[in-house]
Structure 1
Amino acid sequence: MKITATFLIGLLAPIAFAQQLCDQYAYHSSSGYEFNNNMWGSGSGQGSQCTNVEWVNSNGCGWRVNWQWANNRDNVKSYPYSGKQMNPKRLVSQWRDIQSTAAWSYSGSNIRANVAYDLFTHSNPNNPTHSGEYELMIWLGRLGDVWPIGRQISTVNVAGRQWQLYDGYNGAMRVYSFVAPSQVNNFQANLKEFFDHLSANHGYPANNQYLLTVQFGTEPFTGGPATLSVSNWNANLFT
């Protein structure tokens, strides 16, 4: 068989998808990645949302979400996301690197939302992946007057950047949020460094917490019509 340049480009190119997710928890998975429209807080507001998977392969994915939400301005309405499927689940301390890239942009009007990583950990590896004993959020964007759970406890340098670190509780779950002072639209880092900071400075128990999921998406509060476009997102974990 003759290998042509066109054939090689075809092998390397992302697989095209036209997958639209508009139901409350509409879900799609492929090539080790998963997507969820995840309108978990829609009952607190009025609006609509659809997530579109544009491409996905073993190297990452691209997607966008269109939304419009009103009422109860301080309530999160949803968290549409892309996620890395975790199999097997390991203790946080057993992961050497959690490498990830995120390239994104936002457009629309009156946007009040974040753009953030969301990682849940629990002492039980079989705990549902949408909650944990600990939650680590990494806010790459804060659009409008929205804030993380808890209060700011410090300003820190992690993964080569400065972050405002927030600490609080969502019920019994402890939530740490690293918030970028200004938008980071092209991000590349070892996410393990955030856990390492929490372990060294805040007693995070990495030796008995399993990493359940690595997710990236947006939490809309109110505004729109708005579109988050994620041109490239990936996560690769190494022991």
Structure 2
Amino acid sequence: MLFHAFFLASVLAVVSAGPLGTPVSQSVTPVRRQAASLCSQYAYYAASGYEFNNNNWGKGAASSGNQCTTVQSVSGSGVSWSTSWTWQGGQDNVKSYANAGRLFDRGIKISNIKSLPTNIQWDYQPRDGIRANVAYDVFTAADPNHDKSSGDYELMIWLARIGGVYPIGNKVATVNLAGFNWDLYTGPNGSMKVFSFLPADGSWKMSFNADLKLFFNYLAQNQGYPINNQHLIVFQQGTEPFTGGPTKYTVSSYSANVNT
């Protein structure tokens, strides 16, 4: 939600990392090292088809706070990572969107995508007093080379709404997709139109396995989404903190793919 400033990462230092481990004899237990630690405002790391952004784009609205994102492991089959934060002030302003994004070839029309399968297991600890969401964020645009900081349309799928935060816009429908009931909200985010799906029963989807193409199909059939002229720009999953902490969002496993 809101403008993701990770495109600035190209002018900032990429956090490098060593391998996850080196060969050792069988008599020694190997030490598993983290892949990257991302603590600057737009710190960025990419490997094995995934990219990670600390992306503290809204920190200016905070009276105090900080955030660091840690990449634990990365492979073609999936990733694990976490982000730790504390933010005060700017009660109703998002401070960041630390996220893991799937890299893919640009120029893919949404109508030509067969499936967008994804699987995630996550947790938030401690939870008391925090205000945040956990959400997928997918941008699409008619221009396949549109800047990755925005798009024509934004699809958000909230897996959790924590501490009374709200999505952009107003509720327009309740629909069953991927085996769950969702309340759909729509509204503007700058020049983008945002579609936000929230669990209708208020539950947290801490283990979620779904094909996100189902959501685009529904929007095309029922909400006027122009599926035939929109291209996939970003495919991300992360968390948007408002206030609270210190706390830690931990993704024990996450995978996403674009199948055409």
**TM bin (shorter chain):** over 0.9
Structure 2 Cα separation of the partners of residues 99 and 117 of structure 1:
12
Structure 2 Cα separation of the partners of residues 107 and 154 of structure 1:
32
Aligned: 1:20 with 2:37: yes
SS of equivalent residue, structure 2 residue 34: strand
- 2:240 maps to 219
Structure with the larger strand share: 1
Structure 2 Cα separation of the partners of residues 193 and 165 of structure 1:
14
Structure 2 Cα separation of the partners of residues 144 and 183 of structure 1:
12
Choose the corresponding residue for 1:79, options 94, 97, 105.
97
- 1:179 maps to 198
Structure 1 Cα separation of the partners of residues 87 and 41 of structure 2:
14
- Percent sequence identity over matched residues? 49
Structure 2 Cα separation of the partners of residues 193 and 149 of structure 1:
21
- The Cα shift of 1:237 comes to 1.4
**Which letter does structure 2 place at the counterpart of 1:32?**
G
Aligned: 1:230 with 2:251: yes
Stretches (4+) displaced over 6 A: none
Please give the per-residue CA displacement for 1:103-130, whole angstroms capped at 9, x wherever unaligned. Answer: 1000123110000000000011111122
Aligned: 1:131 with 2:150: yes
Choose the corresponding residue for 2:84, options 41, 61, 66.
66
Structure 2: segments with no counterpart, 5+ residues:
1-31
RMSD over aligned Cα atoms: 1.0
- Number of residue equivalences: 225
Aligned: 1:149 with 2:168: yes
Aligned: 1:102 with 2:120: yes
Task: Give the TM-score of the pair, scaled to structure 1.
Answer: 0.92
- The Cα shift of 1:17 comes to 3.0
**Which letter does structure 1 place at the counterpart of 2:79?**
C
- 1:32 maps to 49
1:89–1:17 distance in 2 versus 1, CA, 3 Å: farther
Structure 2 Cα separation of the partners of residues 67 and 89 of structure 1:
35
- The Cα shift of 1:16 comes to 5.2
Structure 1: segments with no counterpart, 5+ residues:
1-14
